[in-house]
A and B are shown apart, each in its own frame.
Chain A
């Protein structure tokens, strides 16, 4: 039987396993490999530091979402040899394939930034992009009653690009509720020239930071962290002091991607942006955060992309043309604190604009505007993720972005 090998049983890999099993199970042998047995609900990491999610809320096992009939292999991926269609695991196990799907994501890599990965990590220097990081940060925030909190994004691209802004806004709301806000200065330090990348959203989000008295420090390209003296130092020698630092380490793809020569400078797989096929090999695809698509690295993107990827993949293995084209559709809730959230919806061509979603003119969600319903939408998403999305069940929103319901005049 011909073999499909999926590397990574996270959001994208698990969805692909479920959908491909339905389409090709029985005629193809499908194997999925992962080094970790735990499936984390990563959007939940943002809420753990503030105590609104408990650590156990974000943990399930990877195996429970992989369908019977798909082989689950537990192991570290050591090397990929694309010329001989072979993956070797750290324990020496060799896995051959006819078609390979890389879904190994992107990961915070503190070792890329001098001074970050030292003795202060987990004490005065934190991240919230890992389970351990968000739990350690919860404990640090509980003790933090005065001083300067610096929220920093080191370099784009990162997964969930709105998360650092959400963290700053949630922290502001959190300290206000606790009555400590007046004693805490919050500074948002970013290499971008504004609060966010996309102009209309950046304007909305930037004015929100101003309203909340969060200081924006743009164009700050971090060279190193002087953890001993609690300073951020930029490439052009600017310095920013902190008492508590919450940073987003540089995100990079897997080492084996780089060593196999498939990656860009961030080790994300070079793929066709519309069909996810590797630019170097006709039997290798990359999906989810592992691919170098010029759109957000986010579960919503992996989900929308799946509706394009699966029919294309099925055609491709049969020798038929790939007919679907991905538009880069992304959709993110932005938690803004005080039990409210915003929602943004965009693609490769169209930046986030104000309007209503998913039903034009009605909603119930508001685009680029704070509302309580948006906040409940974000919270409800956890249930959808565990119960529908991973299993590859259809969620009643269109996978391509729609202009209906959006206010073009705002652009």
Chain B
């Protein structure tokens, strides 16, 4: 598993740069990850998504899909596209320090 240095810290990531260790993430790291993908400021709305993703991951053991974030997390899909433009499923999980949602088969 590759190791990279982000914000002066050694972080375990997969081949696409997504964090693989749940515990290596914290809020400071999230800000750096967000900047990496062109989101300079994390607003309260961003944090709402990130918080839901992390707590849902702890319960389910897998990253929530867009549909799950909207139906269970209560954040409309339209907002997810505004908060994490173009590829919200990948971007929100990247910033939340989780694996991207498994391509449902």
Contacts and interface: CB of A to CB of B under 8 A. Distances in A.
Contacts of A161: 105
Contacts, number: 43
Interface in A257-297: 264-266, 294-296
A145 B71 CA distance: 41
B48 interface: no
Contact of B67 (A197, A198, A265, A330): A265
Contacts of A264: 68
Contacts of A193: 87, 90
A266 B65 CA distance: 11
Interface size class of B (residues with CB under 8 A): 10 to 19
B77 A235 contact: yes
A265 B52 CA distance: 15
Nearest to A348: B105
Given A193-B87, A265-B72, A266-B67, A223 B105 contact: no
Interface string A136-171: 000000000000000000011100010000000000
A219 B77 CA distance: 14
A157 B72 contact: no
B86 interface: yes
B78 interface: yes
Given A219-B87, A236-B86, A197 B77 contact: no
B102 interface: yes
A221 B104 contact: no
B105 A197 contact: yes
Contact of A235 (B71, B72, B78, B103): B78
A330 B67 CA distance: 24
A221 B81 contact: yes
Contacts of B67: 155, 265-266
Contacts of A198: 103, 105
Contacts of A221: 66, 77, 81
B103 A296 contact: no
A157 B105 contact: yes
A95 interface: no
Interface residues of A, number: 20
B105 A295 contact: yes
A184 interface: no
Given A236-B85, A236-B86, A265-B67, A223 B104 contact: no
A295 B103 CA distance: 10
A266 B66 CA distance: 12
Interface string A208-249: 000000000001010100000000000110000000000000
A236 to B, nearest CB: 5
A19 B4 CA distance: 52
A38 interface: no
A322 interface: no
Contacts of A192: 103
Nearest to A295: B105
B12 to A, nearest CB: 20
A265 B105 contact: no
Given A193-B87, A219-B87, A235-B77, A156 B103 contact: yes
Contacts of B105: 156-157, 161, 197-198, 294-296, 330
B80 to A, nearest CB: 8
A156 to B, nearest CB: 4
Contact of B78 (A157, A219, A223, A330): A223
A266 B86 CA distance: 23
B104 A294 contact: yes
A234 to B, nearest CB: 8
Contact of A265 (B68, B81, B102): B68
A157 B81 contact: no
21 contacts: A155-B67, A156-B105, A157-B104, A157-B105, A161-B105, A197-B104, A198-B105, A219-B86, A219-B87, A221-B77, A221-B81, A223-B78, A235-B78, A235-B80, A235-B81, A236-B86, A264-B68, A294-B62, A294-B102, A294-B104, A294-B105
Given A294-B105, A295-B105, 12 more contacts: A156-B104, A161-B105, A192-B103, A193-B90, A197-B103, A197-B104, A223-B77, A235-B80, A265-B65, A265-B68, A294-B62, A294-B104
Interface of A: 155-157, 161, 192-193, 197-198, 219, 221, 223, 235-236, 264-266, 294-296, 330
